[in-house]
Amino acid sequence: MNQYGFDSCTREYKVSYPHLKVLPPPGPYNEEPYVDTVLSFKNSLTSLRISGDDSLAVYRTLCDQLDQFKSLQRLTFVIRSYTGLTHFEDLVDKCPHLKELNFKVYINAIQRTNEPEPEPMILPRPDIHKLECDWKLICTESQLEYVMHKFTNIQRLSVYANGPEEPEVSGPTLIKFIQYVISTPVFTLEIFVRNEDLLDIFIDAIPDTEGKASRSIDRLYDILQLCPLLEEFKISFASSILANHRESKYPSLKKLSILGVEPSKSLRFLNSLSLNLPNLREFSLGFSYYDSNTGPIVINMPHSSLDSLTWHVVASDVEVYIKLKTESGLRYYYWNRLVVLSVDESCYLFVTQNVRFDINCKYLKELGIIVNYNGDHYCCIF
């Protein structure tokens, strides 16, 4: 049976395949024959697709008989005009054997009204183990609360963002939802959030090893533990990050960026990174501002072999003095946009008003400096 032949083969297939479980989706103009067909197999179908809205008679016909699909386990709604998940509450509860729900959205932009969204009586469905939906449908306070209270035993959760849609939701509710998501065994989460919520999400949404919020580097390790195959990660607006002493290896991560660090704060957490990220090859570090009076920028990563170390700086002109200790020995350099020169220790110690690096690692191939003032990127090759 193909997606264009529903109106011509219903009787034939009903006789030949009385236990038919799955039908292909209809074509763009075959909704009515598709509904006629699925109604002929409502005792055997385990999967069903519903498209349309209350204005279509064929949609209402199918929804009215949904409770007669005795074997239905997977239900897909195709949504072409905005409505929240709460709109489908009664339909979902008509399907007592349902295991999977999928909401496919074909909407370019959401036009919400100022009217309050309905708050139905929520009957939890711990028997539904898989949920897929678009972020557009649930990025309000009431919809996120509905998902968390309705689907209490999700084993596989996928939330996709097919276009920018900032949440109309408070920070605490958003954090609670992210905690709900990461508690599921398998999940995909793509969402748009406000910049001002980002740091709170990393601090509060993911519990540390003691079950409380903190600003230690353990926050990164908790994320890597949840996502063991993660190869690249970027933290913006990092402010201050405290060192900690957890020793756990996360070999998958190869590229890490930590931006927005306050230069007056200690970078002692870098030693922990070096120990716990044995395959880190590219590391970027950015300050929210820089004052050379705070002394050298100490980058102590003694266990790391780096292809590149990149420093992001807000400045109009940069001259850098570098102390570099690797397995090859101790060397000193002067670097500007044009040249790299070897210098001696006394020169490095004398220029206290210039940017100075004190770098300790097993190996470093390239030091890069990105001047955010004008977007230029300069490299110093060792």
Enumerate residues 6+ apart whose C-beta is below 8 A from 336.
318, 319, 320
Is residue 378, in this structure, part of any structural domain at all?
A: yes
Question: pLDDT tens per residue, the chain (382 residues)?
Answer: 444 445 545 555 555 566 788 888 776 667 788 888 888 888 889 999 888 776 678 788 888 999 999 999 999 988 877 677 888 888 999 999 999 999 988 766 555 555 455 555 788 999 999 999 988 888 888 899 999 999 999 999 999 887 666 677 887 888 888 888 888 888 888 887 765 565 566 555 555 434 333 445 666 777 777 677 778 887 765 555 655 666 788 899 999 988 877 765 668 889 888 999 999 999 998 876 666 667 788 999 999 999 999 888 766 567 889 999 999 999 999 988 778 889 999 998 888 778 888 999 999 998 888 776 455 666 666 6
Cβ neighbours of 320 (radius 10 Å): 22
| DSSP run (H or E) holding 48 | strand 47-51
Rounded CA separation 226/245 (Å): 19
For residues 28 and 10, give the distance between their C-alpha atoms in angstroms, rounded to a whole number: 19
Structural domain range at position 368: 229-382
Is 243 within a domain? yes
> Which residues does 129 contact at the CB level (< 8 Å), separation at least 6?
99, 100, 153, 154, 155, 156
User: Would you say residue 241 lies in a domain?
Assistant: yes
Q: What is the pLDDT of residue 102?
A: 94
Considering only CA atoms, which of 175, 177, 168, 367 is closest in space to residue 285? Answer: 367
What is residue 99's predicted lDDT score, i.e. its pLDDT? 96
Other Cβ atoms within 10 Å of 190 Cβ, number: 11
Strand order in the sheet with 100-105: 47-51, 74-79, 100-105, 130-134, 156-160, 186-189
Structure token digits, residue 221: 């390790």
SS3 47: strand
- Quick check: is 334 in a domain? yes
Whether the CB-CB separation of 299 and 273 falls below 8 Å is answered with no
* Residue 113, domain member (yes or no): no
**Residue 196 falls within a domain, yes or no?**
no
Q: Which of 54, 40, 145 is nearest to 91 (CA)?
A: 54
pLDDT recorded at residue 211: 38
Q: pTM here? A: 0.54
For residue 9, give the DSSP letter: H
Across the chain, how many H-helices and E-strands are there? 11, 15
Q: What integer pLDDT is reported at residue 327 of this predicted model?
A: 95
Number of domains forming the structure of the chain: 1
Identify whether 95 is part of a domain.
no
Please name the helix (run of DSSP H) or strand (run of DSSP E) that holds residue 134, with its range, or none.
strand 130-134
Residue 115 lies in a domain: no
Q: Which two structure tokens, joined as six digits, stand for 270?
A: 């870098």
